[in-house]
Structure 1
Amino acid sequence: MSLRDVPYQTAPSPLLEVRDLTVEYATATGSALAVDKVGFTLDKGEFLGIVGESGCGKSTLLFGIAQLLSPPAGITGGSVSFKGRNLVTMTARQLNAIRWSELSVVMQSAMNALNPVKTIGSQFRDVLRAHSFDTDIAVRSREVMELVGVDPVHLGSYPHQLSGGMRQRAMIAMALLFTPDLIIMDEPTSALDVVAQRSLMVQIKELQRELGFAIIFVTHDMSLVSHFSDQLIVMYGGQIAEFGDTRTVFDTPRHPYSRGLLDAFPSIRGPKVPLLGIPGSPPDLSDLPPGCRFAARCPSVMPSCTQTGPELYDVDQVLVRCLLHAPGQVSKEEVPA
C-alpha cells in the first residue's frame, strides 16, 4: 500500500474549547477583571475539576461558558466553542435550543434554583415541554429520578419537602432529562455534610461512566475532586495558576498556591501534620497588582515576581503560572515547602 492509499485522519475535535475567555464586572470605580484570558479544552466523557478560594473567578468562569452572565458582568474577549459552535456569538434563541438538551447546569443551591411553589415533577414537565418532548413525560421523569437514586414518588413533592441531598439529586436528574453531552456543576455539594457529599460524588461519577457525558465541576474543596476528576484547574485572581492531570497536581503541586490549598486540608492517611493557612487575602480584581498576583502571599517570592507577570509554563505536561518554572529558573523542580 502506498502512502497515497492511506486515508487521511484528523484528530477528533474537543467537545468544549475555551479560548482566552475574559469576563469583567462593571463597577463604580472601573472594571473588575474576574476571568482573565482563561483557556482549556474538554473531551467527551472527561471530568474537569476547578478549584480555588472564594472570589478567584470559578463560578464566573462557569457562567461565562454557559452564557448565563447578567449585568454588570459581561464577556469582553475570547470564545467558547461547544461541539464546533461559538456560544459567545449565539443568539438567546439558539442558546435556549441547546440548553438542557445538549448542555445543562447544576446550580450551587438547589433550594434557590428550584421553583418553591411547583412540585419536582411539574418542573421536569416544564423543561421537557420547552424542548417539544410531549410524549411519555411521566415515564422519562421517573427514569431520571431512579437514575440518581431517588424514589419517583417524590416527583409529587415540593423542594422544601426534600432533604438537601435529595434536592441536589433532583437537580442532577433534571440536568439528565435529555442526557446532554456536558453538565456544568457549580459547587453542588457545598450545602451537604461530608457523608452526603461523598455519596453524591460517587453517584455523579457512576452516572458519568454509564452515560458518557463530560463534567465541569467547581468547588473550593480540593480534597473533594481528588478521587473523581481527570483534569484539575487551580484558579487564582481570575487566572489559571496550575492545570494538569489531577493525580499529578495532588502528588507534586508546582505552584505555591496549589501547595497552600493542599496544606489547608487534613489527610486521612499518614502521620499527623499541622494544618497551614495561606496568609493574606486574594487581590482586588478591580485594582490588580503588577507582576504575579500571588506574590504578596507567596512563601517563595522572588524580586522579579512583583514586576513580571508569569506566563503559563509547561512543566512535564502540567501548566504552571509561576516564575519558579520559567526557562532558566528551577524548571522541573518541586516548589519549595
Structure 2
Amino acid sequence: MSPLDVTDLGYEPDRDPLLQVSELTVEYATARGSALAVDRVSFTLRRGEFLGIVGESGCGKSTLLFGIAQLLSAPAGITGGSAVFKGRNLVGLTERQLQSVRWSQISVVMQSAMNALNPVKTIGAQFRDVLRAHHYAADHAARSREVMELVGVDPVHLNSYPHQLSGGMRQRSMIAMALLFSPDLIIMDEPTSALDVVAQRSLMVQIKELQRELGFAIIFVTHDMSLVSHFSDRLIVMYGGQIAELGATRTVFDTPRHPYSAGLLDAFPSIRGPRLPLLGIPGTPPDLSDPPPGCRFAARCPQVMPACTESGPELYSVDQVLVRCLLHAPGQVSHQEVPA
C-alpha cells in the first residue's frame, strides 16, 4: 500500500481519455467565509464508461458535476484545478467557447425534469430551440422524433406540455433532448430521484441500452446505492467535498475499504443473502466552511485513531482501489488485518 497520484484510477488509463479532472476545487462564498464544497477532486473518464458518484447530501456531488460542465453560478466558483475534455480545459473557456461544447459534445440531464423543462412550451418546441441554438441544419422534426423513439416515448408527445406527461416520460424526454447531437458525454444529476422504483429500473435499463448502442460516457450522481451497483462500471464515494474511495463498482461493493463506504452499504438493504438490520451512520457531515483539521469522517468513524484527528489522509492504493483513510497508509495495520 502506498500513496498514489489521485489521477491514477487503479487501471491502465487510455492514452487519450475523454475527460481528465485534476485537482478541481470549488468554493462557495458565504457570510461565514468560503465553504470548500469540492476539494481537489481528480479522476479520469474513459470513452463509453459509466461512472457513478454517491454520497450523502451536501458532500459535493452535484457541485462537482456543475463545475465540470461550467454551469456554476454565484456564490459558487472554481478556485483551482482543471477539467480537460477531449484535450481542451473547460475551466477558463469563454461563454462562447463553452456554447460550442455544451449539448453538442457534453449534455446534462438535470435532477428534476419538471423544473428543468419549460412549463409553457411543448416538448417539441423545446427540442427545436436546442436544435436552432446549435444551428442544426437537417430536419428538426425528424431528429426530434428519432430521439424520442430512442428513449421509448411515442413521438406524438412532442406536442405535449411537461405537465401532461408522467414523471418517467418527462425524464425520458430530458434524456432524448440530451441525445439530440449524439454527445460523447452525458452528465446525469440524480435523474431518477422523483420516480418510483419500477420507473427507476425501466429508465436505467433504457439508459444502459442507449449507452451500449451509441457509445457515450456517463457520469451519474445518485443517492441510490442499488442503482449504481447494477449499472456503473466504476464508483466514486464522496464525503466532505473529497473522494473517500474510488474503484471498480463491484470491488467497492464487495470489499469496501473506507469506513464511510461500509457505512453507506450498511444503510441500504441487500436483495441477496440473509436479512440483516439496517444501520445508520451516527453524527452529521462536517461544516465545509470550517472543516476539521484531520480526516473529515473522523468524528463519525467507528475505527477512528488519534492520528485521524491530526492530519488529513491522502489517497492510498489498495488492490486497484483508491482509499482516503489512514487505515491503509504505508506501514499501518488496519483493524481488519489485526490477527485474532
- Answer yes or no: is the 8 Å Cα contact 1:256–1:335 preserved in 2: no
What residue in structure 2 maps to residue 293 of structure 1?
296
Between the two proteins, the alignment pairs up a number of residues equal to 327
| 1:135 shift after superposition | 2.4
* Secondary structure, aligned partner of 2:231: coil
What residue in structure 2 maps to residue 29 of structure 1?
32
What residue in structure 1 maps to residue 9 of structure 2?
none
What residue in structure 2 maps to residue 106 of structure 1?
109
- Answer yes or no: is the 8 Å Cα contact 1:325–1:332 preserved in 2: no
What residue in structure 1 maps to residue 81 of structure 2?
78
| 1:97 shift after superposition | 1.0
Give the Cα separation in 2 of the matches to 1:57 and 1:222. Answer: 17
What residue in structure 2 maps to residue 322 of structure 1?
325
| 1:11 shift after superposition | 5.6
In the superposition, relative to structure 1, how do residues 281 and 335 fare at CA in structure 2: closer, same or farther (>3 Å)?
A: farther
What residue in structure 2 maps to residue 159 of structure 1?
162
- Answer yes or no: is the 8 Å Cα contact 1:233–1:240 preserved in 2: yes
What residue in structure 2 maps to residue 91 of structure 1?
94
- Deviation >3 Å, runs of 4+: 331-336
Matched, 1:39 2:45: no
Give the Cα separation in 2 of the matches to 1:333 and 1:280. Answer: 23
What residue in structure 1 maps to residue 10 of structure 2?
none
**Residue 260 of structure 1, aligned match among 254, 258, 263:** 263
**Deviation digits for residues 28-65 of structure 1 (CA, Å, limit 9, x no counterpart):** 11000000000000010000000000000000000000
| 1:334 shift after superposition | 7.0
**Residue 122 of structure 1, aligned match among 108, 125, 136:** 125
| 1:332 shift after superposition | 11
In the superposition, relative to structure 1, how do residues 236 and 114 fare at CA in structure 2: closer, same or farther (>3 Å)?
A: same
* Secondary structure, aligned partner of 1:13: coil
| Counterpart residue type for residue 204 of structure 1 | I
In the superposition, relative to structure 1, how do residues 320 and 225 fare at CA in structure 2: closer, same or farther (>3 Å)?
A: same
After TM superposition, list the pairs within 5 Å mapping 1:235-314 onto structure 2: 235-314=238-317
**Deviation digits for residues 89-130 of structure 1 (CA, Å, limit 9, x no counterpart):** 110001011111000000000011000000000000010111
Give the Cα separation in 2 of the matches to 1:35 and 1:136. Answer: 42
| Counterpart residue type for residue 240 of structure 1 | I
| 1:12 shift after superposition | 2.4
> TM-score, normalized by length of structure 2?
0.94
**Residue 234 of structure 1, aligned match among 237, 260, 263:** 237
In the superposition, relative to structure 1, how do residues 224 and 309 fare at CA in structure 2: closer, same or farther (>3 Å)?
A: same
- Answer yes or no: is the 8 Å Cα contact 1:315–1:331 preserved in 2: no
Give the Cα separation in 2 of the matches to 1:99 and 1:75. Answer: 18
- Answer yes or no: is the 8 Å Cα contact 2:109–2:174 preserved in 1: yes
> TM-score, normalized by length of structure 1?
0.95
Give the Cα separation in 2 of the matches to 1:56 and 1:101. Answer: 29
State which drifts further: 203-212 or 127-136.
127-136
* Secondary structure, aligned partner of 1:88: coil
Matched, 1:57 2:51: no
- Answer yes or no: is the 8 Å Cα contact 1:253–1:334 preserved in 2: no
After TM superposition, list the pairs within 5 Å mapping 1:186-197 onto structure 2: 186-197=189-200
| Counterpart residue type for residue 108 of structure 2 | V
| 1:333 shift after superposition | 5.2
Give the Cα separation in 2 of the matches to 1:44 and 1:331. Answer: 36
* Secondary structure, aligned partner of 1:226: helix
- Answer yes or no: is the 8 Å Cα contact 2:327–2:335 preserved in 1: no
Give the Cα separation in 2 of the matches to 1:120 and 1:330. Answer: 58
State which drifts further: 190-199 or 132-141.
132-141
State which drifts further: 288-297 or 327-336.
327-336
Give the Cα separation in 2 of the matches to 1:314 and 1:302. Answer: 20
Give the Cα separation in 2 of the matches to 1:272 and 1:335. Answer: 28
* Secondary structure, aligned partner of 2:289: coil
- Answer yes or no: is the 8 Å Cα contact 2:266–2:280 preserved in 1: yes
**Residue 202 of structure 2, aligned match among 180, 199, 205:** 199
Structure 2 residue runs without a partner (length 5+): 1-12
**Residue 222 of structure 1, aligned match among 221, 225, 250:** 225
- Answer yes or no: is the 8 Å Cα contact 1:260–1:276 preserved in 2: yes
- Answer yes or no: is the 8 Å Cα contact 2:245–2:323 preserved in 1: yes
- Answer yes or no: is the 8 Å Cα contact 2:238–2:244 preserved in 1: yes
What residue in structure 2 maps to residue 131 of structure 1?
134
Give the Cα separation in 2 of the matches to 1:87 and 1:58. Answer: 18
Give the Cα separation in 1 of the matches to 2:200 and 2:112. Answer: 14
| 1:330 shift after superposition | 2.6
State which drifts further: 20-29 or 128-137.
128-137
* Secondary structure, aligned partner of 2:201: helix
In the superposition, relative to structure 1, how do residues 335 and 210 fare at CA in structure 2: closer, same or farther (>3 Å)?
A: farther
